[in-house]
Amino acid sequence: MTLEIISAHEIVFSGEVSSVTLPGELGQFTVLKDHAPLISVLVKGPVKYTDAKGEKGSFEIAGGLADVNDNVISVCVY
């Protein structure tokens, strides 16, 4: 899957991942390969991901939006 984390000022992360956990309005949720399409409001919390090499990463956000479609996760944050 491809994860793109974008803020108003920069591309924070762009790369291949095997999983992503996002802080949704109703709680954290995890996106895996072939996840159903969705759009979600994000709240303050960590975006956690495991990259294609198995290494884990995390990025703290104040909120934003996530779009999942065809194994592409686009996260717009502020």
CB atoms within 10 A of CB 41: 12
| Domain count of the fold of the chain | 1
Structural tokens at position 51: 């990259």
Listed in sequence order, the residues at least 6 apart from 41 whose beta carbon sits closer than 8 Å to its beta carbon are 24, 25, 63, 64, 65
pLDDT of residue 20: 98
Residue 27's domain comprises 2-77
Q: Consecutive 10-residue runs of the chain (78 residues): their mean pLDDT? A: 95 96 96 97 97 92 97 96
What CATH number did the domain enclosing 57 receive?
A: 2.60.15.10
Give the integer Cα–Cα distance in Å for 31 and 67: 11
DSSP 32-43: ETTPPPEEEEE-
Q: Which pLDDT belongs to residue 13? A: 93
By CB neighbour count within 10 A (0-12 exposed, 13-18 middle, 19+ buried), where does 22 fall?
buried
Residue 52, pLDDT score: 83
